[in-house]
């Protein structure tokens, strides 16, 4: 005769599986339309924010007409003292992608 624990194990496993599936549920906005088509939409350039003018040039060369690129840091600004303006922050939040260098390279 099986012990009571072995008889409860399948029920406990099923309950845990149900809880895990419920936790993976979306926030309820899966069917909500987005205010802007996805960046991959034909004819619509992807908005890219680049941290440095050098990266903006690189993205512009690679992306050609498929990207709308801007550099967060102006060409004459010192990256060590630069403070973004509210309009800079607005443009960054509207970007589809941000191109950064995280290797602390001095350019």
User: Could you read off the pLDDT of 2-60 as tens digits, one per residue?
Assistant: 666 677 777 777 777 777 666 666 555 555 555 555 555 667 899 999 999 989 999 99
Q: Tell me the whole-structure pTM to 2 decimals.
A: 0.56
The pLDDT tens digits for 62-100 are 999 899 999 999 998 988 899 999 999 999 999 999 998
Superfamily of domain 46-99: Nitrogenase molybdenum iron protein domain (3.40.50.1980)
Does the structure show a pLDDT above 60 at 107? no
Residue 88 burial (CB count, 10 A): 16
pLDDT given at position 1 = 55
pLDDT of residue 90: 93
Q: What strand order describes the sheet that includes 46-50?
A: 67-71, 46-50, 97-99
Residue 92 CA to residue 23 CA, distance in Å, equals 32
- What are the sequence ranges of the domains in the chain? 46-99
């Amino acid at each position: 005769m099986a012990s009571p624990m072995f008889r409860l194990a399948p029920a406990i496993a099923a309950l845990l599986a149900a809880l895990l599936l419920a936790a993976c549920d979306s926030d309820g906005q899966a069917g909500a339309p987005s205010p802007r088509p996805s960046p991959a939409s034909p004819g619509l350039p992807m908005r890219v924010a680049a941290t440095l003018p050098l990266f903006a040039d690189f993205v512009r060369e690679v992306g050609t007409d498929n990207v709308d690129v801007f550099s967060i840091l102006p060409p004459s600004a010192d990256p060590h003292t630069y403070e973004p303006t509210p309009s800079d922050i607005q443009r960054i939040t509207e970007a589809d992608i941000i191109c950064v260098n995280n290797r602390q390279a001095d350019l």
